[in-house]
Structure 1
C-alpha cells in the first residue's frame, strides 16, 4: 500500500506532485496520425482479409491452383504487395476465428481446408 501524501516527508511529497509536462512535437504527430481516420479497406483485419482474398483469387486465376509457397508475394493491380503465402498460412492457423462467410469465400476459390469447415 502506498503511503498517504499527508504522512510523507517534505521530500517525498515533492516527488509525488504531478509535473505539468507537454508532449514533444513528435508525440503530437504520432497521436494525430493514430487518431486520423483510416482509408477504406486499409489497416483493419477485415481489410487484410479482403486484400489476401483478392491476391489469392488473382494467383489462382493465373496459376490454376491455390497451393502457394509460404515465401510468395503477390502484387495487386493497385501496386500493393501481399505476402500471400504467409497470409494463407496464418489464415489457416487462425481459421477458427473466421466467419462462415469468409470460409465460404475461401472455399469458393478452392481452398480445401475451408471447404471442409464451410
Structure 2
C-alpha cells in the first residue's frame, strides 16, 4: 500500500511503529483503539493510534529522557522507546472533549526524511 504512494521505503519503520503503538494501547488501556496512517507531506508518513485513555505514557511525556532505556531485566517498557528511536518526531494529543473522538489520546510518530532503517 505504501509503495503505491511512493512511500515503500518507509514500510519497515511504519510497521514497527504501528505494531508498538497498537500493542501499547492493547496492553495498557481499556476500550477501543484505532490506527490512523496519513502522509502530511511528500515523503513523510504519520502513524498514529487513538485510544480512550487520556493518560500520556511516560515515554511520550515532554520531560522524558529520550536516551533512557529500561533496565535489561524488565519484561516491558521498551516499545515506546523503540518508537522514539525509529521516528523523526513523536507527539501526543490529549482529546478532552467527548463526542466523535470519544476523548482519550492520539499518540503519533512521523517517519521519513532522515529515518535510517
- TM-score between the two structures when normalised by the length of structure 1: 0.25
- Larger relative strand fraction: 2
Q: Which has the higher contact order (CA 8 A, sep 6+)?
A: 2
Greater C-alpha radius of gyration: 1
- TM-score between the two structures when normalised by the length of structure 2: 0.25
